[in-house]
Amino acid sequence: MTTMTEASVREFKMPDVGEGLTEAEILKWYVQPGDTVTDGQIVCEVETAKAAVELPIPYDGVVRALHFPEGTTVDVGTSIIAVEVAGAAPAAPEPQPAPAPQAPVPQAEEPQPEGRQPVLVGYGVAATSIKRRPRKGPEVPVAQASAPQASTVIQAELNGHGPAPAADRPRPLAKPPVRKLAKDLGVDLATVTPTGPDGIITRDDVHAAAATTRPAPQQAPAQAPAPAQEAATPAAPAGAAAPVTPAAAHDAARETRIPVKGVRKATAAAMVGSAFTAPHVTEFVTVDVTRTMKLVEELKQDKEFTGLRVNPLLLIAKALLVAVRRNPDINASWDEAAQEIVVKHYVNLGIAAATPRGLIVPNIKDAHAKTLPELAQSLGELVSTAREGRTSPAAMQGGTITITNVGVFGVDTGTPILNPGESAILAVGAIKPQPWVHKGKVRPRQVTTLALSFDHRLVDGELGSKVLADVAAILEQPKRLITWA
């Protein structure tokens, strides 16, 4: 028995790498079963709803199993990799005093390093680790319920967790995405047997329950072969339908379906929420930025900017920061719960960045306090990190006002949607030569169109117009960066 306690298997669970995230997709494994790993070594890369993040393993050992292949979306708290760790056995059996009355039980627990609850990092086994739910219909709680209790049963069913729990029936353990899946599939979570860590119901558990419950109405016929065939059909309804007719196969070849997940899914939800929560107003101004473009070229030759990225976006960002300083009420957010306007005395300047995984908006913390060279350095680091897909969740939190540069795509302007939690966003159009009246004569000048969208609950037309006019005035006469600062 002593030799079997010299090593144990530790389960590394999917952590919450952001704030309140419930799932992440495994993008790439850097290790395989049999590989030796050390504390702090990166073992995989995952993508959450906010960013791609590399995960380090928290202990030394040998990889025994990878529980999920690349491309799988895994709930936070689910074990993703098993590592055999030498000399770590005492920590695993400690939470297991419940089965102790039988002498052989402790001996049987220690040699079971199979990625189950006894070796989960930081948890262990509760007294009722299996948590099987009674497979009784609603007649039990209904029979005991008065009128208010009956309404509780209905409400519980609407929430996706089946009949109201009785005194001896604990609430099923499942994360919000799994509860929603169960609700969509019409599965009563109280009838699902959990296989996840600590008795948590997983997506696979819900799908398995759905597959077993769908053929139930076909049990009435006495013919045995028919239910067996039909039971297999619901397991893959989409896949079975496509090859049925040549027309369906032809349509499938003409279309590509891309799962919406990760950053793109979060962005879509955020934009819908923003568009239908904050009343948007967008104003436009077309401005001659010839002097700004000349200043950009001069700054490129300045030794203070050696090695730094100098472009029009740098001066546009600085112009917006000066405009915010002159009109501080634009830098605010709406607190719906408290019914208050929260004015921020700092500027975390968001820069919308298009990446292969979707649109993200990292922000430069305390951009208002940075010098122009410091701002140039921060912009360069932000863009490079975003293009490499290494933007951290922290870098995308706490923004106060945003710039989106649609001009890089040759677009004149647009009506940008507010980043959630912010009151304004500035869209910058393409800068290109256009005929312009300059000093009484029509001449070719470098011209662009700016668009400012703002939340009309806390920004009225006057304030929004002043901010947009100030940005335009600075870009037309960049010396105002000195006089207005």
Mean pLDDT for back-to-back runs of 10 residues, the chain (485 residues)? 59 78 86 92 83 85 93 90 74 44 44 40 38 41 39 40 46 75 81 83 82 52 42 44 60 76 69 75 97 96 93 97 97 90 96 83 95 96 87 88 94 92 95 95 97 94 96 97 90
The whole-angstrom separation of Cα 426 and Cα 401 is 8
Closest CA to 267 of 404, 117, 90: 404
Same domain assignment for residues 474 and 446? yes
Which residues are registered as beta bridge partners of 12?
A: 81
DSSP state letters, 326-369: HSGGGSEEEETTTTEEEE-SS--EEE-EEETTEEE--EETTGGG
Cα(179)–Cα(196) distance, integer angstroms: 14
pLDDT of residue 424: 96
> For residue 244, what are the CA distances in angstroms to 231, 237, 257?
18, 11, 19
Q: Is residue 125 part of a domain?
A: no
Both 281 and 201 in one domain: the answer is no
Question: Do 160 and 250 share a domain, yes or no?
Answer: no
Among all residues, which ones are annotated catalytic? 456
Do 286 and 317 belong to one domain?
A: yes
| Total tally of structural domains belonging to the chain | 4
Please check whether residues 269 and 353 belong to one and the same domain.
yes
Residue 120 near residue 108 (C-beta atoms within 8 A): no
Domain ranges, residue 74: 2-119
Residues 377 and 424 in one domain: yes
Rounded Cα–Cα distance for residues 307 and 330 (Å): 33
**pTM of the entire predicted model:** 0.55
Same domain, 204 and 276: no
Residue with tokens 């919450």: 16
Q: What is the CATH number of the domain that holds 38?
A: 2.40.50.100
Do 471 and 351 lie in one domain? The reply is yes
Residue 127 falls inside a structural domain: no
401 and 367 Cβ atoms separated by less than 8 Å = no
Token representation of residue 126: 């509760």
132, part of any domain? no
List residues bridging with 281 in a β-sheet: 454
**Contact status, residue 476 vs residue 290, Cβ threshold 8 Å:** no
* Residue 156 tokens, joined: 């519980």
Whether residue 91 lies inside any domain: the answer is yes
Kindly state whether residues 237 and 164 are assigned to the same domain.
no
The reply to whether 316 and 446 lie within a common domain is yes
Residues 6+ apart with CB under 8 A from 226: 218
